[in-house]
Each structure stands twice: as structure tokens, then as C-alpha cells.
């Protein structure tokens, strides 16, 4: 068989290479029905002049920023913040964590509205009442004829604990920010055991205003007047639904364990990387 000529061989090689290599220097033709993007040049209003500012050292006045993190706060403020952060970060036992679940605003307003009707008498009111009673006794009358039986809010930790143990208290309000918390940490369990309705409310100072004190850890009602019995019964049913009936759940629910924003972002980023792999 005679060998192929060089011309035929080179032609075959050239044809083979041209079938696999794309021509260089040529652009792909656009799609036939592609919609042309219409971009309009934005016209600037000549009345508004751009005044770029340089915020370098010794240049334009710096913009106002939130510099509170650079402030050296008083020690009591630092302690408040550290205590708040620790209560969020650390695992909090259920007996202490239950004090973070307080009565809602509307129900708390109703409770304080009712308790305000039974505020203890002031020193001037007490003096006036005793003067009338003394005058009645001097006239040979009974003191009950002059002044009716007082219905007042009971306060003082030992006094309220005694009322709960004797099942005389009808409703107990406990402050959520008592310091140290050990003073009142046993009260929800005691109220539950004795069948006394209780509620945890915000602010020992707010309870203090009820009884003419700066602060008060607890406040209790033992009796109410006939005209307030309906409102009192409604309040007790709401309080029981929020606290007494949920006592077993709060006994098992730990608090805290909430990390900061940076730590949460780091954990989420790590979880996303693991999921992608």
C-alpha cells in the first residue's frame, strides 16, 4: 500500500485541530430577542452642591456618635450592669429564675389599683382616729360607734409569713428585685403549700409606696370590703392562672444561658459551616 503524501496528512491534522479549537478573537453573537436595557443618565440638580467632608485628624468636625461605652460609670451602675449580664449568661436555678416571670402590666395595674384602696393610715390619720375613739369612750360609748373596722394592706416579711402560715392571707404580692433574693425565695413554695394565691410583681419600691415606705418585699390582703369582692375574685382567678397553676412548670424551668450577640453570631457561623460540609 503506498504511503500517504505529506500534503494529505497535514490537511487531516489541520482539519482535526480546527474541529476542537474555538476561533480566537471572536465574540459570541447576542441572543436574537434579548431586550435591550435602557439606562438613563441621572441628571443632577444644580441647586444641590456636593460638599464632601474629610473626618481625618484636624479636619471636619466629627459626627455625633454613641460614646457611652467609653464613659467611666459610677461603681453602683457598673455593679447593676454586671449583675444583669451575669443573670443572663449563667445558668440560674428554677427557684430564682421564677422571679424573672412577673405579672403582666394590665393585671398588675388592677392589683395595685385594688391595693391602693387599702393603704395603711398615715400618722395624722391615726392620730385623728384615736382622738375620736378616746372622745367616744369618755362619753361612755364604744369606739366601734365612731370608727369602723380598718381594712389595710399587711406588710413586713415576718408578719406576712405568719399570715400565710395561718392561712389568713387572701392574696400576696412579692417583689421581684429583693436583694438579697434569699429573703423571699421560699415564699412561692410556701404560698403554694398553704393554698394562698400569690403574684410576683415588678418593683419593691412600688410595693413600698402602698405602705408609706421606701421599699417593701411583700404585701398582703387579708380582707376586702363587700363592694370590692367581685373585682378581688376576678384578680385572684387571673393570678392563679399565671402563677399557682404554672408552679410545677416553673419548678423545672432553668433560667439564664443566653449568650451575647457576638457569641451567638460565632455559634451560628460555625453551625452553618458544619451544615455546608
Closest CA to 111 of 83, 164, 62, 153: 153
Q: What is the mean pLDDT of the chain?
A: 86
Q: Predicted confidence band at 39 (pLDDT cuts at 50, 70, 90)? A: low
For 144-193, write each residue's pLDDT tens digit: 777 777 889 999 999 999 999 999 999 999 999 998 999 999 999 999 99
Q: Which helix (H) or strand (E) holds 221?
A: strand 218-221
> What is the set of domains in the chain, with CATH numbers?
101-118+153-253 (3.30.1330.30), 121-148 (no CATH)
Whether the bond between 180 and the residue before it is cis, its omega within 30 degrees of 0, is yes
pLDDT at 33: 66
Q: Using CA atoms, how far apart are residues 242 and 201, in angstroms rounded to an integer?
A: 12
pLDDT of 30 higher than 80: no
Q: Predicted confidence band at 3 (pLDDT cuts at 50, 70, 90)? A: low
Q: Stretch 242-267: mean pLDDT, rounded?
A: 92
CB 212 within 8 A of CB 119: yes
Q: Using CA atoms, how far apart are residues 201 and 112, in angstroms rounded to an integer?
A: 10
Q: Using CA atoms, how far apart are residues 240 and 173, in angstroms rounded to an integer?
A: 12
Q: Using CA atoms, how far apart are residues 192 and 187, in angstroms rounded to an integer?
A: 8
For 201-226, write each residue's pLDDT tens digit: 999 999 999 999 999 999 999 999 99
For 66-88, write each residue's pLDDT tens digit: 998 899 999 999 999 999 999 89
Phi (first) and psi of residue 51, to 5 degrees:
-125, 80
Q: Predicted confidence band at 46 (pLDDT cuts at 50, 70, 90)? A: confident
pLDDT at 24: 65
pLDDT of 19 higher than 60: no
Q: Stretch 103-113: mean pLDDT, rounded?
A: 94
Looking at the DSSP bridge assignments, the partners of residue 173 are 199, 219
pLDDT of 103 higher than 90: yes
123 vs 116, residue with greater confidence: 116
Q: Using CA atoms, how far apart are residues 256 and 88, in angstroms rounded to an integer?
A: 5
Please spell the DSSP secondary structure of 54-103, one letter per residue: --STTSSPPPP---GGGS---HHHHHHHHHHHHHHHSEE-HHHHGGGS--
CB 110 within 8 A of CB 231: yes
Q: Predicted confidence band at 8 (pLDDT cuts at 50, 70, 90)? A: very low
Question: Helix %, strand %, coil % for the chain, to 5?
Answer: 50, 5, 45
Q: Predicted confidence band at 18 (pLDDT cuts at 50, 70, 90)? A: very low
For 218-250, write each residue's pLDDT tens digit: 999 999 999 999 999 999 999 999 999 999 998
Amino acid at each position: 500500500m503506498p504511503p500517504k503524501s505529506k500534503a494529505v496528512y497535514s490537511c487531516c491534522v489541520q482539519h482535526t485541530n480546527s474541529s476542537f479549537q474555538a476561533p480566537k478573537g471572536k465574540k459570541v453573537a447576542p441572543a436574537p430577542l434579548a431586550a435591550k436595557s435602557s439606562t438613563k443618565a441621572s441628571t443632577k440638580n444644580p441647586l444641590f452642591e456636593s460638599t464632601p467632608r474629610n473626618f481625618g485628624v484636624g479636619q471636619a468636625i466629627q459626627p455625633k456618635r454613641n460614646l457611652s461605652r467609653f464613659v467611666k460609670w459610677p461603681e453602683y451602675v457598673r455593679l447593676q450592669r454586671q449583675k444583669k449580664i451575669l443573670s443572663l449568661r449563667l445558668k440560674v436555678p428554677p427557684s430564682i429564675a421564677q422571679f424573672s416571670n412577673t405579672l403582666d402590666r394590665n393585671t398588675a395595674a388592677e392589683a395595685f389599683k385594688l391595693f391602693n384602696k387599702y393603704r395603711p393610715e398615715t400618722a395624722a390619720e391615726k392620730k385623728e382616729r384615736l382622738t375620736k375613739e378616746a372622745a367616744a369612750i369618755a362619753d361612755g360609748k364604744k369606739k366601734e360607734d365612731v370608727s369602723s373596722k380598718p381594712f389595710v394592706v399587711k406588710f413586713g416579711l415576718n408578719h406576712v409569713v405568719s399570715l400565710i402560715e395561718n392561712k389568713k392571707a387572701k392574696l400576696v404580692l412579692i417583689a421581684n428585685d429583693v436583694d438579697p433574693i434569699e429573703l423571699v425565695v421560699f415564699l412561692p413554695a410556701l404560698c403554694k403549700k398553704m393554698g394562698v394565691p400569690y403574684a410576683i410583681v415588678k418593683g419593691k419600691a412600688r410595693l413600698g409606696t402602698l405602705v408609706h415606705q421606701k421599699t417593701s418585699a411583700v404585701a398582703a390582703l387579708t380582707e376586702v370590703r363587700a363592694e370590692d369582692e367581685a373585682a378581688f375574685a376576678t384578680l385572684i382567678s387571673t393570678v392563679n392562672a399565671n402563677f399557682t397553676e404554672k408552679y410545677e412548670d416553673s419548678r423545672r424551668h432553668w433560667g439564664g444561658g443566653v449568650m451575647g450577640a457576638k457569641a451567638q453570631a460565632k455559634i451560628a457561623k460555625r453551625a452553618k459551616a458544619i451544615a455546608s460540609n
